[in-house]
C-alpha cells in the first residue's frame, strides 16, 4: 500500500481515502463515519503550515510533511506484542486501564472491570455505536481550529478514548491510557481521537502515557476534546516517551463552564519533534484552569508547547507554569496566548516559562501573548533562561556529592514546583525517578 513515489504526506492521505472509506465497515453508518467525506473535502483543500505560519514559525515540519506515514486505521499492520498489561506507568495505584496500539484499542491488554455503574469509559469506536447520542452531541463540538493535523485526525481517526462521567459522580481511581506506537516494517501514523465529557459536579483524573516501541519512525497525531460542565473537576496527565526518531503532534481542546476546575500536565521526555497545542475556553464564572509543563530535551529534540487560554467571563483564574531543561542541541518553544474578553472583569491570569540550558547549543524560543480587553484584571507573564546555579552546585559538592549527582539534584529542584502539583503520589515519585533516569542517559 505504500507508494514507491514519495509525493508527500498530504497527497498520500488524499489518494488513499477511498480505500480507507470503503473499509470502514460498521463505522461508516455512524455520524462520524458519515462525516468523513466532508472532512475529506477539507483535507483536499488545506495545506500543512510552514515556517511562515505564525503559530508554526519555530517548528519545521519538513520531515513529517514529506513522509508517507500510513494511518493505522487504513492498514491495520499491528505487530504482536508481548503482554502489554504490565507496561502501565502506575503499578501500585488501583486504576482503570486502556491500551491503544497505534491508536487502536486492544481489549485483551485493557482492564475496564473497575468502571463504576453509570460512568462510561470505553474506546471511541464502541461508543460511536453504543452511545450515539452522547458522542454526536460532543464530538467536534468544541474543536474550531481546522488545521490540517486536526483534519487528518477527523478523516482517519475512528478510535480513541471515550469518557462520560454523569452528574455528581466522582471517579476515585485514575484512568490510565497506554499508547504504544510504532511498527518494524512501515512508518505508521497513529490517529487517536479522544472525547472526555464531565457532567456537573463530577470528577476524574486521567493519566496518558505515550510510548514508542519500534525504532522505526512514526507519527502520533492525537486529538482530544474535554468538556467540563459546571463544578466539574478534571485532571489530565500526559507523559510523552516517544522514541527518538518519531513525531508527536497533540492537540487538546478544553471547554469549561462555571465553577469548573481543569488541570493539565504535560511531561515530555522523548520524541524527535513534539508539538503540543493546549487550549481552554473559560465560559462561566469562578473557573480555575491550570496548565503545567515539564520538558527534558536532549540530542536534537524539538519540543514545542503552544497554549491558549480564553477568559470569556468574570472572576476566573488561570495559571500556566512551563519548565524546560534542555541539553545538547535540543530546542524548546513556549508560546502562550491569553485572551481576556471585555466581559471578563476580575480575571487573574498568570503565565510563567522557565528554562535551564545545560549546553551552549541548546536553545529556547519563548513568546507570551496577552490580549486584554477588560480593564479590571490581574495578568502577568514572565520568562527566565539560565544555567544551573553555580553557587548551589558548589554548596552541594562541598557535602561530598559528585558533579553528576549534584547537577541532577539541581535539575530535580528546578522541576520541583511542577512535580509537586501532581496529585497522584505514585505518579509524582515516578516522575522524579524518570528525571534522574533521563539525566543518567544524557551526559550532564
Partner 1 sequence: MLQIKNLHANIEGKEILRGINLTVNAGEVHAIMGPNGSGKSTLANVLAGSENYEVTEGEVILEGKNLLDLSIEDRAREGVFLAFQYPVEIPGISNATFLKTAIDEIRKYNNLTELTPKQFLDLMKEKASILGMDEKLLSRAVNQGFSGGEKKRNEILQLLMLNPKLALLDETDSGLDIDALKVVSSGVNVFKNPNNAVILVTHYQRLLSYIIPDFVHVLYKGRIIKSGTKELALELEEKGYDWIKDDIDLVEEAKA
Residues that bind partner 1 (CB under 8 A): 389-392, 394-403, 405-406, 409-410, 412-417, 419-420, 432
- Taking residue 241's Cβ as centre, other Cβ atoms within 10 Å add up to 18
Bridge partners (DSSP) of residue 337 are 308, 369
Please report how close the Cβ of residue 131 comes to partner 1 at its closest, in angstroms.
Answer: 43
Shortest distance, position 395 Cβ to partner 1, whole Å:
4
Closer CB to partner 1, 374 or 396, in the complex? 396
Nearer to partner 1, 145 or 425 (CB): 425
Shortest gap between Cβ of 442 and partner 1 (angstroms)?
A: 19
Measured from the CB atom, is 287 or 410 closer to partner 1?
410
Comparing CB distances to partner 1, the nearer of 52 and 402 is: 402
Shortest distance, position 56 Cβ to partner 1, whole Å = 34
Q: If phi over 0 gives left and psi between -120 and 50 gives alpha, with beta otherwise, what is residue 10?
A: alpha
* Closest residue by Cα to residue 112 from 158, 169, 171: 171
Whole-Å CA distances, 74 to 70, 324, 343: 7, 36, 46
Cβ 398 to partner 1 shortest distance, Å = 5
* Nearer residue to partner 1 within complex by CB, 81 or 395: 395
At residue 266's C-alpha, the angle toward residues 260 and 267, to 5°, is 150
User: How near is the Cβ of 35 to partner 1 at its closest, in Å?
Assistant: 47
Dihedral sign from CA coordinates of 76, 77, 78, 80: positive
The smaller minimum CB distance to partner 1, of residues 35 and 401, is found at 401
Question: Cell 491508536 belongs to which residue?
Answer: 103
Nearest distance from C-beta of residue 214 to partner 1, angstroms: 34
Nearer to partner 1, 14 or 409 (CB): 409
Amino acid at each position: 500500500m505504500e507508494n514507491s513515489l514519495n509525493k508527500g504526506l498530504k497527497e498520500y492521505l488524499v489518494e488513499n481515502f477511498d480505500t480507507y472509506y470503503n473499509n470502514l465497515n460498521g463505522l461508516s453508518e455512524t455520524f462520524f463515519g458519515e462525516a468523513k467525506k466532508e472532512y475529506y473535502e477539507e483535507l483536499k483543500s488545506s495545506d500543512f503550515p510552514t515556517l511562515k505560519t505564525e503559530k508554526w514559525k519555530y517548528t519545521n515540519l519538513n520531515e513529517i510533511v514529506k513522509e508517507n506515514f500510513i494511518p493505522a486505521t487504513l492498514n491495520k499492520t499491528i505487530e504482536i506484542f508481548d503482554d502489554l498489561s504490565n507496561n502501565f506507568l502506575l503499578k501500585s495505584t488501583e486504576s482503570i486501564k486502556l491500551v491503544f496500539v497505534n491508536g487502536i484499542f486492544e481489549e485483551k491488554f485493557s482492564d475496564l472491570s473497575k468502571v463504576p455503574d453509570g460512568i462510561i469509559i470505553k474506546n471511541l469506536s464502541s461508543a460511536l455505536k453504543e452511545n450515539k447520542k452522547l458522542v454526536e452531541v460532543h464530538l467536534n463540538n468544541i474543536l474550531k481550529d481546522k488545521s490540517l493535523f486536526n483534519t487528518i485526525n477527523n478523516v482517519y481517526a475512528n478510535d480513541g478514548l471515550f469518557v462520560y462521567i454523569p452528574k455528581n459522580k466522582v471517579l476515585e481511581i485514575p484512568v490510565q491510557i497506554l499508547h504504544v506506537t510504532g511498527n518494524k516494517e512501515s512508518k505508521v501514523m497513529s490517529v487517536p481521537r479522544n472525547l472526555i465529557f464531565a457532567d456537573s459536579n463530577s470528577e476524574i483524573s486521567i493519566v496518558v502515557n505515550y510510548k514508542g516501541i519500534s525504532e522505526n519512525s512514526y507519527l502520533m497525531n492525537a486529538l482530544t476534546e474535554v468538556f467540563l460542565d459546571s463544578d466539574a473537576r478534571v485532571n489530565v496527565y500526559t507523559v510523552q516517551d516517544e522514541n527518538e526518531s518519531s513525531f508527536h503532534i497533540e492537540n487538546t481542546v478544553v471547554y469549561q463552564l462555571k465553577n469548573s476546575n481543569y488541570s493539565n500536565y504535560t511531561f515530555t521526555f522523548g520524541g524527535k519533534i513534539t508539538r503540543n497545542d493546549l487550549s481552554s475556553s473559560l465560559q462561566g464564572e469562578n473557573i480555575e484552569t491550570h496548565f503545567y509543563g515539564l520538558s527534558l530535551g536532549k540530542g536534537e529534540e524539538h519540543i514545542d508547547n503552544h497554549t491558549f487560554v480564553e477568559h470569556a467571563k468574570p472572576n476566573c483564574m488561570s495559571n500556566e507554569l512551563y519548565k524546560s531543561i534542555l541539553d545538547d542541541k535540543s530546542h524548546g518553544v513556549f508560546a502562550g496566548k491569553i485572551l481576556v474578553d471585555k466581559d471578563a472583569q476580575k480575571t487573574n491570569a498568570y503565565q510563567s516559562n522557565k528554562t535551564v540550558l545545560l549546553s551552549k547549543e541548546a536553545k529556547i524560543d519563548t513568546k507570551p501573548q496577552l490580549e486584554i480587553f477588560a480593564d479590571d484584571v490581574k495578568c502577568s507573564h514572565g520568562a527566565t533562561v539560565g544555567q544551573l546555579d553555580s553557587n548551589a552546585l558548589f554548596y552541594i559538592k562541598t557535602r561530598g556529592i559528585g558533579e553528576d549527582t549534584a547537577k541532577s539534584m539541581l535539575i530535580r529542584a528546578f522541576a520541583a514546583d511542577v512535580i509537586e502539583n501532581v496529585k497522584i503520589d505514585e505518579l509524582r515519585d515516578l516522575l522524579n525517578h524518570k528525571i534522574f533516569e533521563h539525566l543518567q542517559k544524557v551526559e550532564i
